[in-house]
Structure formats: C-alpha cells, structure tokens
C-alpha cells in the first residue's frame, strides 16, 4: 500500500465518514434500489423500551451498556415517549430504500425461572414480546417475515410455538447466553420435535456475545445444537459460532465439524462484517461446505464497517461503502464486495420455500 493511500485510511479512522456514527434514520437522499432477485435479510431485530404500550422491556443494566447510547445516536433516537415507534419507522425507511426485498424480523424473549415463569427481574438485556412482533408484521406484511422468540424454558413453550406458527411465524429464535438456556438440555427435545413437526426454522445464537450481559459462553457452543438436529429441526446457527478478534473462545471449528455431519444445519452472516469479527468472512469463504450453508443476514441495527476490510477492497469501493448511510444496504454491498457468491443471498428465499413443501 502506498503512503498516500495509507494516510487517507488512517485519516478516515477518526472521521465521521466511518458510517457507524452517521445518522441513518431520516436519509431521504437514497431511492429504492434495483432488486434483480428476491433478497431476504435473515436477521433483523425489533426493539423497544415499552413506551406506547408495546410491552417491550429494557433492563437497567442494558441501559447502562455502552451500546445503548451508541445506537440512540446511530439511529437518531431519543427517549421521547414514542421511541419504539420511531425505531420501527427508521427500520421501515431503510428496508424500503435498500436492495432488501424482505427482512426476517425478530422478537426477543426474556429469562424464565425454574418453574417456567417469566423473570423480568433477572432479564439483563431486552424483552420484545411476540405479540408486538406480529402487530408490526401485520402493519408491514410486504417488508417483514416474523421470527418469534421463544425461551424453551417457559412452561407454555410448545403452546407458544403453535400460537406463533399459526400466526405466521416462519422462524423461531433462541438466544442461549442472554436467556440462560442450555440448548443441549434433554428436556428441550419435545420442543425441538414440535419445531420439526410444524416445519419452522430454529435459529439459535452461537459464538460469543458482547452486546448484552450473558451467563457465559458455554451455551453458545454449536455442539449444543445436536439434540435439535437429531430431532429433525432445520437449524440456523446464527453467527456460525464465531468470535470477536479479542475473544479466547473460538467455536467456529465446532460448527464446521457439525455442518459436515448434519444436512439441516445452516449459518448466517449476521454481524460478521463489523469491526470486531473481520476475520470471519474470509474463513467462511475458504470452506466450501460452510459456504454452501451460509445465509445472508445483517443483524440490524448492528452496523457493518468497511474500513476494517480496507486491504480487501479497492479504494473506490471502500469510499463508496463508507459513504453508504443505509445500514442494510451497506451490509449487503460490503458482503458482495468481499466475495460472497450470489447463492448466499438467494439461500434465504430457497430455505423458506423448502419449509412449506
């Protein structure tokens, strides 16, 4: 790299053009993109603090977490009494102005105690109820596919699963490290069997987690998905068991071994183009068996960061991505530029279609 190019990049490191902190919420300069094929973003978060009667909950611990104020600035949000609705409007505007055809929109269940009762007191992150998810999906059916969140420790887990699938859920999400769930617990097998019977995709967080307080990393090992796979579930290991560059644990090799064993196991690319996981996508590109099971996903509102891939992009492409204010579009275009093949971006549609036949 020549000196001029290096100086430019070093200058950008401290500049607002990074895009992470650029206000993306009300960007009206971007018109809807051309959509040459149906493109689904398989990992987009619904969010709320509970204003406006949404039923959402944000813990005091999460409000003190560094990323809460970060995302308020990122999306130009404020605690104004209608922040939950403002978030929805920000998200809707970005989907409409992107190349994304539809987004798999996720609720987020809480923790439950040993009796299967909801435990908001010990829920240290966020709670976004399924009821609120379906309200938003009914408002924008052309934009969103519902992904219910069901902590399988809840006493009515199977009933909630049936209710959500009957309401249109195509995916069910479990987040073990924040919901305090061991996916390998034998008591969860009946829940997994019901997921398989109802032909709903099971998405489970794998790999390290830094956006919220967790119970540790043990439950994030992809090997703990074996019972669900043995019960016939189609499983997406969100984040492919990967880590941030500073983490000691690396569960990605375990995912690679499992994907060679179980044909119903997939992964997504959610948050794999951010500043902390820049080593991951090159690893996926080098393993054909993994690439063949990879699905496009952004993890909105967590932003991609093109700058950490400066050595893999042309200068013109880098500058173009740094100036892209639409988080969904930036993530899609960056992953294209890094070499993810078209099949990755088509696989979400194909997988959803396969679950209905």
Q: Is residue 165 part of a domain?
A: yes
% of residues, the chain, pLDDT over 70:
90
Q: Tell me the C-alpha distance between 146 and 219, whole Å.
A: 25
Residue in this structure with the two tokens 């920000």, named with its chain if needed: 90
Q: Order across the sheet with 102-106: list the strands.
A: 40-45, 102-106, 144-149, 171-174, 201-205, 235-238, 265-268, 294-295
Q: Is residue 30 part of a domain?
A: no
Average pLDDT over residues 2-11: 39
Residues 247-277: tens digit of each pLDDT: 899 999 999 999 999 999 999 999 999 989 8
Q: Do β-strands 294-295 and 265-268 pair in parallel, antiparallel, or remain unpaired?
A: parallel
Question: Of 310, 286, 300, 311, which Cα lies nearest the Cα of 42?
Answer: 300
Q: Is residue 23 part of a domain?
A: no
Residue with more model confidence, 67 or 57: 57
Assess whether pLDDT exceeds 50 at residue 15.
no
Across the chain, which distance is largest between two alpha carbons, in Å?
A: 63
Q: Is residue 32 part of a domain?
A: no
Average pLDDT over residues 274-298: 95
Q: What is residue 31's predicted lDDT score, i.e. its pLDDT?
A: 52
Cβ(172)–Cβ(149) below 8 Å? yes
Average pLDDT over residues 141-149: 98
- CATH number of the domain within which 303 lies: 3.20.20.140
Question: Of 154, 148, 151, which Cα lies nearest the Cα of 117?
Answer: 154
The domain tally of the chain equals 1
Q: What is residue 357's predicted lDDT score, i.e. its pLDDT?
A: 64
Q: Is residue 306 part of a domain?
A: yes
Q: Is residue 276 part of a domain?
A: yes
pLDDT band (50, 70, 90) for residue 220 = very high
What DSSP string describes 143-156? TEEEEEE--TTSTT
Q: Is residue 15 part of a domain?
A: no
How much is the mean pLDDT over the chain?
A: 90
User: What domain range includes position 109?
Assistant: 40-354
Count of beta carbons in the 10 Å neighbourhood of residue 107? 26
pTM of the model: 0.91
Assess whether pLDDT exceeds 60 at residue 54.
yes
In this structure, what token pair is assigned to residue 250?
């690396």
Q: What is residue 290's predicted lDDT score, i.e. its pLDDT?
A: 97
Average pLDDT over residues 72-79: 95
% of residues, the chain, pLDDT over 90:
82
Q: Is residue 3 part of a domain?
A: no
Cβ(301)–Cβ(327) below 8 Å? yes
Listed range (1-5, 58-62, 307-311, 336-340) with the worst mean pLDDT? 1-5
């Amino acid at each position: 790299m020549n000196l001029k190019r290096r100086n430019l990049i070093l200058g950008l490191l401290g500049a607002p053009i990074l895009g992470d902190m650029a206000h993306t919420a009300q960007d009206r300069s971007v018109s809807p993109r051309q959509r040459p094929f149906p493109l689904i973003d398989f990992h987009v978060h619904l969010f709320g603090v509970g204003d406006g009667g949404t039923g959402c909950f944000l813990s005091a611990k999460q409000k003190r977490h560094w990323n809460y104020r970060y995302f308020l600035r990122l999306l130009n949000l404020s605690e104004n009494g209608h922040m939950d609705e403002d978030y929805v409007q920000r998200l809707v505007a970005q989907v409409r102005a992107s190349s994304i055809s539809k987004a798999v929109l996720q609720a987020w269940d809480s923790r439950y105690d040993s009796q299967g009762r909801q435990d908001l007191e010990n829920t240290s992150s966020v709670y976004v109820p399924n009821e609120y998810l379906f309200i938003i999906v009914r408002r924008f059916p052309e934009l969103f596919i519902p992904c219910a969140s069901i902590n399988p420790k809840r006493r009515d887990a199977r009933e909630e699963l049936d209710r959500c699938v009957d309401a249109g859920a195509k995916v069910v999400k479990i987040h073990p490290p924040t919901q305090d769930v061991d996916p390998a617990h034998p008591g969860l097998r009946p829940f997994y069997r019901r997921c398989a019977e109802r032909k709903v995709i099971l998405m489970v967080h794998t790999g390290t987690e830094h956006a919220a307080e967790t119970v540790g990393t043990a439950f994030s090992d992809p090997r703990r998905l074996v019972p669900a796979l043995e019960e016939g579930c189609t499983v997406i290991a969100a984040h492919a068991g990967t880590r941030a560059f500073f983490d000691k644990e690396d569960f990605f090799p375990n995912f690679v071994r499992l994907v060679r064993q179980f044909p119903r196991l997939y992964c997504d690319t959610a948050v794999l183009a951010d500043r902390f996981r820049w080593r991951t996508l090159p690893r996926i590109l080098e393993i054909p068996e993994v690439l063949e099971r990879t699905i496009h996903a952004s993890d909105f509102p967590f932003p991609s960061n093109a700058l950490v891939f400066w050595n893999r992009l042309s200068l013109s492409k880098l500058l173009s991505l740094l100036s892209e204010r639409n988080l969904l579009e930036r993530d899609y275009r960056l992953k294209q530029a890094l070499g993810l093949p078209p099949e990755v971006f088509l696989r979400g549609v194909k997988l959803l279609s396969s679950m209905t036949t």
